[in-house]
Amino acid sequence: MQKIPLTLAKPGMQLAKAVTRDNGMVVMGAGMELTETHIERLRGMEVDRITVEGNPVEGADGVDTSAAKRLERLDHLFRRLSGDPWMDQVRGYLHEYFRLKAAEQAARAAAEGK
């Protein structure tokens, strides 16, 4: 599943999570397939993000956005902040998060036979 801006939504995408208003009222249920009409209505309700099934939106210029790739880049992104105890702690939390996410994605891909 992937959380995307509504501007990237396309007809045929399937909602992974229900779309709700600020007060918790469900506008569209999980599992619904989007149509152009649905997307327009969500725009009218000023919904800015939705969660859809799969990973339909690739990163900019085909950049791999998988958790494993993000985990590989983590040390590079924090290279100038080493020695700062707060940033080391943030890097540690992110490292653990992406490690678990990468394991989950690998298990899901293995289960799907990819």
pLDDT over 70 (residue 61): no
> What's the CA angle centered on 32, arms 27 and 36, to 5 degrees?
80
Taking 60 as the threshold, does the pLDDT of residue 79 lie above it?
yes
Position 60 pLDDT exceeds 50: no
Q: Whole-angstrom Cα distance, residue 58 to residue 64?
A: 7
Q: Quote the pLDDT of residue 58.
A: 57
What is d(CA 20, CA 95) in angstroms, rounded to the nearest whole number? 31
| CA proximity to 68, closest of 97, 90, 89, 93 | 97
pLDDT computed for residue 62 by the predictor: 46
Locate 11 and state its tokens: 């007809």
For residue 95 the two structure tokens come to 């490292």
Q: How far apart are CA 89 and CA 86, in angstroms?
A: 5
- Residue 57 has a pLDDT of 64
Identify the pLDDT of residue 71.
83
> pTM of the full predicted structure?
0.52
| Highest averaged pLDDT of the listed ranges 4-8, 14-18, 72-76 | 14-18
Which DSSP letter does residue 27 get?
E
